[in-house]
Amino acid sequence: MIDRKVLAAAQARNILTADQAEQLVRLAAETTGVDEVPRDNEPLRLVTGFSDIFIMIGISIFLWSGFALAAQMFSPAIAFALLAGAAWMLAEAFTLQRRQALPSLSLIGSFALCVFAASNLFLRDVYGDGTETTAQSIFYLFTSLHRLIIGFNGAMTPADIGAAAITAFAVALHYLRFRAPISIAMGGIFLVANILGILDWAFPSFFENAFRWLLLAAGLALFAAAMRFDLSDPERRTQRSDIAFWLHLYSAPMILNALVNPFLQGSGFTPFANPAGILLLAFMLAVVSLAIDRRAILFASLLSIGLMFGSVAILAGMFGFGLPIMFFIIGGCILFMGAGWNPMRKAVLQHLPESLVRRLPRPVG
């Protein structure tokens, strides 16, 4: 059979198109009589060997020690900008030339966060908000995007809104240069943050009342983008499958939090405001995950439910059996679904229209 890494390298160097690579794989399968489709049917190209882990560790140490040195000589904003530039230069070697997935993931994450931090700090100086830059404020800056998406954050400042827009644009340029699969999902998150921040700043009353609907719409938009990539590559042999994976991983918690998170501002969704409704929602997500063969949706959803109810349990003082039992049940669900994934998926596909099934990944096992 043709090595997948050879085909991926040929596509990266524009020697083959995605369709030509797929035709070569089918020809090899017909010639040798061996079906190259993996049993998992949800490949995730992250680690090809310990070299990837080794280099990622080196990148992490190099970048953040470099930031510590730069912060001694320059302002934090300049230090973050220098770190973003260093992450871009390292991506020239490890993403563009060597095509190593795990180091590339570390580099795009570092690049995006540093661009966001640098632009935010620069814009703070422009708007003159007088906020002192401390280790605590930098930590708050890095977590502000996450807290906005899940509803814990307060109003975004003009600096936050501008920084999210700048970062979305920078991540788009990064994708055009390096084609890292996670870039589209990461850029989408910063774009969502920018849009939500503008609405919060311009229409605070509307934003407070409609936040759940806005977050749900954003999550569904990312899910629709993921499905577009998924349906364009049902055999999951190209980079479009990896792009879809990351979009699913980002969209699922947004959808789930919009529907059931008790901490979110705005009016809730009554059908899911009770344990039975949450179980129904979990079942619906499981069916969707099985239909499109994406464990990432179920994993992200169950993890979000666990964290959500874990927070409720801690606030309620449930430090005894309640919290462990809840995560025990979630872990058991993951094991049960993982062990019986292929038979359950076949059963779900039997109840779907044939025209849709033909476009979805084929049942395996």
Residues of the chain with pLDDT > 70: what percent?
75
CB 77 within 8 A of CB 118: yes
pLDDT at 64 over 60: yes
Residue 356 domain boundaries: 210-365
Rounded to two decimals, the pTM is: 0.81
Average pLDDT of the residues in 120-134: 72
183: enclosing H helix or E strand = helix 182-202
Measured distance CA(178)–CA(220) in Å, rounded: 27
Residue 334 lies in a domain: yes
Tokens of 107: 């580099």
pLDDT at 225: 95
Separation between Cα atoms, residue 251 and residue 39, nearest integer Å: 26
Is 354 contained in some domain? yes
CB 80 within 8 A of CB 118: yes
Q: Which long-range contacts (CB under 8 A, 24 or more apart) does 300-307 make?
A: 300/248, 300/249, 300/252, 300/253, 300/256, 301/252, 301/253, 301/256, 302/330, 302/333, 302/334, 303/253, 303/330, 304/252, 304/253, 304/256, 304/257, 305/256, 305/260, 305/278, 305/330, 306/330
Write the pLDDT tens digit of every residue in 289-324: 999 999 888 888 787 777 766 666 666 666 566 667
Is 348 part of any domain? yes
Quick one: pLDDT at residue 60?
Answer: 92
Residue 139 CB neighbour total at 10 angstroms: 10
Q: What is the pLDDT of residue 315?
A: 64
Share of the chain above pLDDT 90, in %: 26
Residue 53 is assigned to a structural domain of this protein: no
Q: Are 87 and 96 a contacting pair, CB within 8 Å? A: no
Whether residue 200 is predicted with pLDDT greater than 80 in this model: the reply is yes
- Quote the number of domains for the chain: 1
Measured distance CA(166)–CA(209) in Å, rounded: 27
Evaluate whether residue 230 is within a structural domain: yes
Q: What is the mean pLDDT of the chain?
A: 80
